[in-house]
Structure 1
Amino acid sequence: MGLLGKFFHHSSGNHEEEIKSKGFEISECSFECDSCTSKFPASLKFDEEAELWDSTKPFGLHLLVSTGKSDWPHDATGESNTLSNAVAKWGSDHSQKYSQIGNIKVSTSSLSSDEFLTDDDYIKEQKGDILILPFFVWVKGVTIKETSSVLSSLIPDLIKFRNEKVTDLQIPTTYSTSFPSVRFEIDTSKSYVFLCSHRTRDKRCGVTAPIMKKEMDLHLRDLGLYRDVGDNTPNGVRVAFINHIGGHKYAANVIIYLRSSGKIIWLARCKPNNVVPIIDECIVNDGKVWPNNIRLLQKLDPIDW
Structure 2
Amino acid sequence: MAILNKLLNLNISDNKESNKELKEKSIDEQIIQSGFEISDCSEICDDCTISYPKSLKFEETEPLWNSTKPFGLHLIISTGKSDWPHDATGIEGTLSNKISNWASEESGKTSIGNIKVTCSSLSNDNLIIDDDYINQKKGDVLIMPYFLWLRGIKLDEVDEKFNILLSIFNEHNLKNKELEKEKGEDNGDIVNNRKDLKFEYIKSKLPTIEEDINLSYIFFCSHKTRDKRCGITAPIMKKEMDLYLRDIGYYRDYGDQTPNGISVAFINHIGGHKFAANVIIYIKSTGQNIWLGLCKPNNCKPIIDQCILEKGKVWPNKVRILQKFDPIEW
Q: State how many pairs are aligned.
A: 287
Pair 1:274 & 2:306 matched: no
Aligned to 2:284: 259
TM-score by length of 1: 0.89
The CA distance in 2 between the partners of 1:209 and 1:225, in whole Å, is 19
Shift of 1:172: 3.2
Give the residue type in structure 1 aligned to 2:320: R
Aligned to 2:149: 138
The CA distance in 2 between the partners of 1:166 and 1:196, in whole Å, is 30
Check whether the contact 2:128–2:134 (CA below 8 A) recurs between aligned residues.
Answer: no
Aligned to 1:47: 59
Give secondary structure in 2 for the equivalent of 1:56. coil
Aligned to 2:87: 75
Pair 1:219 & 2:244 matched: yes
Pair 1:155 & 2:155 matched: no
Deviations 1:175-203 (A, max 9, x none): 34xxxxxx321002110000000000000
Pair 1:240 & 2:265 matched: yes
Pair 1:18 & 2:30 matched: yes
Q: Which runs of 5+ in 2 are unaligned?
A: 1-24, 177-194
Pair 1:66 & 2:78 matched: yes
* Distance change >3 Å, CA 38–CA 298, structure 1 → 2: same
Deviations 1:50-83 (A, max 9, x none): 0110000000000000000000000000000011
Aligned to 2:231: 206
* Distance change >3 Å, CA 147–CA 128, structure 1 → 2: same
TM-score by length of 2: 0.82
Give secondary structure in 2 for the equivalent of 1:169. helix
Check whether the contact 2:108–2:115 (CA below 8 A) recurs between aligned residues.
Answer: no
* Distance change >3 Å, CA 96–CA 16, structure 1 → 2: closer
Aligned to 1:291: 316
Pair 1:230 & 2:255 matched: yes
Shift of 1:173: 4.2
Pair 1:101 & 2:112 matched: yes
* Distance change >3 Å, CA 135–CA 195, structure 1 → 2: same
Give the residue type in structure 1 aligned to 2:255: G
The CA distance in 1 between the partners of 2:224 and 2:103, in whole Å, is 24
Shift of 1:166: 3.5
Deviations 1:249-271 (A, max 9, x none): 01000000011111100000000
* Distance change >3 Å, CA 217–CA 119, structure 1 → 2: same
The CA distance in 2 between the partners of 1:184 and 1:51, in whole Å, is 40
Shift of 1:125: 6.0
Deviations 1:196-249 (A, max 9, x none): 000000000000000000000011111101122211211110000000000110
Give secondary structure in 2 for the equivalent of 1:79. coil
Moved more, 183-192 or 66-75: 183-192
Deviations 1:69-127 (A, max 9, x none): 000000000000011001101100111322x2221000000001452347975784622
Runs of 4+ in 1 over 2 A off after TM superposition: 113-126, 158-164, 166-176
The CA distance in 2 between the partners of 1:109 and 1:287, in whole Å, is 24
* Distance change >3 Å, CA 224–CA 159, structure 1 → 2: farther
Shift of 1:161: 5.2
Aligned to 1:8: none
The CA distance in 1 between the partners of 2:228 and 2:70, in whole Å, is 26
Q: Please point out which of 216, 221, 226 is paired with 1:196.
A: 221
Pair 1:36 & 2:48 matched: yes
Check whether the contact 1:259–1:302 (CA below 8 A) recurs between aligned residues.
Answer: yes
Check whether the contact 2:242–2:264 (CA below 8 A) recurs between aligned residues.
Answer: yes
